[in-house]
Amino acid sequence: MSKHKIGFIGGGNMARSLIGGLVGAGYPPEALSVADPNESIRTALAADFGINATADNQQIMDQCDVVVFAVKPQVMQKVTSALQVGQNKDRLYLSVAAGIRTASLANWLGGETAIVRAMPNTPALVQSGATGLFANPRVSPNQRDLAESIMRAAGLVQWVEDEALMDVVTALSGSGPAYLFLVMEAMEQAAQKLGLPAETARLLTVQTAFGAAKLALEIEEDPALLRENVTSPGGTTERAIQVLRQEGLEDIFYNALRAARDRANELADELGK
């Protein structure tokens, strides 16, 4: 991957996360570039990572083998429509803008282009993200590997072969951190109502969430089995689980994810016009 020149259009948090992850993994800074209209963002990225920084989006197009679009979805059409694709038919475009379908991006770029659509989430900011990827038919096996390597700089990567499933990815992992933060918030508030000091409730909640996720990743057991392992018959955990199920927890999460998926599809329709 080190021979490829990778350019980012947009230097916000997601671009910073990927650049930091790549440099931290040994990717040569001189092979990385970023374009952003904000001078302070350019200066900070250049100073922090030793990469090339410019205000000219077209310079990224002209000089890079991989172009990562890391701009807000609402301005993606304006940004991409102003670019000249040029003669580089082997260039890979990687979009981390939520809700932009590959067909829309190809149309704005004005040609048959190799596009990988990524749906990362906010834990990518600490290199602990979960990203869904979809490649259009123009993407070669080598380009798939390249896109996966880039996104792995921010965490775990999973491919989907049907682009419609990217809306489910959005509903699950894209929006998922907010659901878990809500659960953590509810646990913390309940503990305080039951008498724990606020700081103790917060720290125990955060560490419990972290430990449960770490255990699920490292033990590689089904979550149902992990739950059963800590649910003793007649014990405290069993009593709490009974209440959660009586209140319809599974249905609540299904309905929530379905609503998020449907909204993701609506937004893609709106943004792709």
pLDDT digits (tens, 9 = 90+) for 171-200: 999 999 999 999 999 999 999 999 999 999
| pLDDT for 90 | 82
Cα-Cα-Cα-Cα torsion 16, 69, 99, 109, nearest 10 degrees, comes to: 180
| pLDDT for 3 | 75
Tell me the C-alpha distance between 24 and 18, whole Å.
10
| pLDDT for 112 | 84
| pLDDT for 55 | 96
| pLDDT for 165 | 97
Q: What is the pLDDT along the chain (273 residues), one digit of tens a residue?
A: 457 999 999 999 999 999 999 999 899 999 999 999 999 999 999 999 999 999 999 999 999 999 999 999 999 999 999 998 876 778 999 999 988 999 999 999 987 899 999 999 999 989 999 999 999 999 999 999 999 999 999 999 999 999 999 999 999 999 999 999 999 999 999 999 999 999 999 999 999 999 999 999 998 889 999 999 999 999 999 999 999 999 999 999 999 999 999 999 999 999 877
| pLDDT for 27 | 93
| pLDDT for 189 | 98
- Cα–Cα–Cα angle for 69, 71, 77, nearest 5°? 80
Instruction: Return phi, psi of residue 220, to 5°.
Output: 60, 35
> Which alpha helices (H) appear in the chain, and where do they start and end?
13-24, 39-49, 57-63, 76-81, 102-109, 141-152, 166-169, 176-193, 198-219, 223-229, 236-246, 249-271
| pLDDT for 86 | 75
List, in order of start, the domains of the chain with CATH numbers.
6-162 (3.40.50.720), 174-267 (1.10.3730.10)
